[in-house]
Amino acid sequence: MNERFLRFQSADTELVGTLSLPQGHPCGAILIMHPFDEEKKFAHRVLTTASWQLAKAGFAALRFDLSGCGDSFGRFRDATIAQWLRDIVTAANLLRRETGCEKISLLGLRLGATLCWLGRNEVDDLDAIVLWEPILSGRKYVDILWRRKLIKEMITAGKGRTSFEAARAELEQTGFIDLDGWALGKTLLDELIELDISTPIQPVPPCPVRTLTVQIAFNAKVSGELNTFADAVRAADGSVDVAGIRERPIWDRIDIVPATELITTTINWLSQK
């Protein structure tokens, strides 16, 4: 396996990524999308391991930081979902040029998985999509993040510093909200709250390629919400497989999680034609 660090432009922002390459010509190319805020830090090792294992299996894998995240340039408080979707398209085109692969597959974790799903009709020559524990309801997700922030404040200061409602009032004045050290801009916060792919009001636009949706939980039984999502995809004539992996939450653990079954299941599924 070989690795190369890449710097590339998405609109006027420079992004940074790492390309893992197999020996010889790759049998496919996978673009890997990281999760949001602190979840990105916790999941870094698993996503890196997944890249290495994909390369060992013959795939090229590009993992990169979205605008305002990690080593990429831009301010996090200025980020929007639309901008991140442009980043995905730009990274997919780069991966195609760097590998010579005509078709690209998308793999994402948590919000990264949701971004892959939202961008499925914007990436040219898409081959497959892998969604690891996708965020189905943005409103519930923001609520979880806020509760996590308050719990940390209770542990460190003995009390939560403010309510979400008070923070929203401050947001109108400052233009951002402090979400556990992350300056979350008003536009992105509103986009996340409005995001809902679990029970779509409108019919789901057709998915152009086969999709694997993976639930990662202590219980391998697939949740009703994820099954509802899969049913909506199938109703739109999409092809989706659903798998339940019994694993610790890789986006919320400081300790080392090998995630062997998760990565192996994904590689075996991607290798099917």
Nearest to 55 by CA among 98, 26, 94: 26
**Secondary structure class of 70 (helix, strand, coil):** coil
Name, in order, each residue with C-beta under 8 angstroms of 88's C-beta and a sequence gap of 6 or more: 31, 33, 106, 115, 116, 119, 122, 123
| Domains of the chain by start residue, with CATH | 2-136+208-271 (3.40.50.1820), 140-191 (no CATH)
Residue 52 pLDDT > 80: yes
Q: How confident is the model over 129-139, as pLDDT tens digits?
A: 999 999 999 99
**Cβ 175 vs Cβ 185: under 8 Å:** yes
Residue 57 pLDDT > 70: yes
Q: How confident is the model over 149-193, as pLDDT tens digits?
A: 777 777 776 665 667 777 777 788 888 888 767 889 999 999 999
Mean pLDDT across 259-269 = 97
Q: What percent of the chain has pLDDT over 90?
A: 73
Name, in order, each residue with C-beta under 8 angstroms of 60's C-beta and a sequence gap of 6 or more: 19, 20, 21, 22, 26, 28, 29, 30, 54, 95, 98, 99, 101
User: Predicted confidence band at 101 (pLDDT cuts at 50, 70, 90)?
Assistant: very high
* Per-residue pLDDT at 175: 86
Q: What is the dihedral of CA 163, 168, 173, 177, to 10 degrees?
A: 80
Mean pLDDT across 15-36 = 97
* Per-residue pLDDT at 25: 95
Residue 109 pLDDT > 90: yes
Q: Which residue has the tokens 């790759």?
A: 26
| Listed range (43-52, 56-65, 143-152, 224-233) with the worst mean pLDDT | 143-152
User: Predicted confidence band at 55 (pLDDT cuts at 50, 70, 90)?
Assistant: very high
pTM of the model: 0.94
Name, in order, each residue with C-beta under 8 angstroms of 89's C-beta and a sequence gap of 6 or more: 119, 122, 123
Residue 265 pLDDT > 70: yes
* Per-residue pLDDT at 66: 98
**β 59-64/28-33 pair status:** parallel
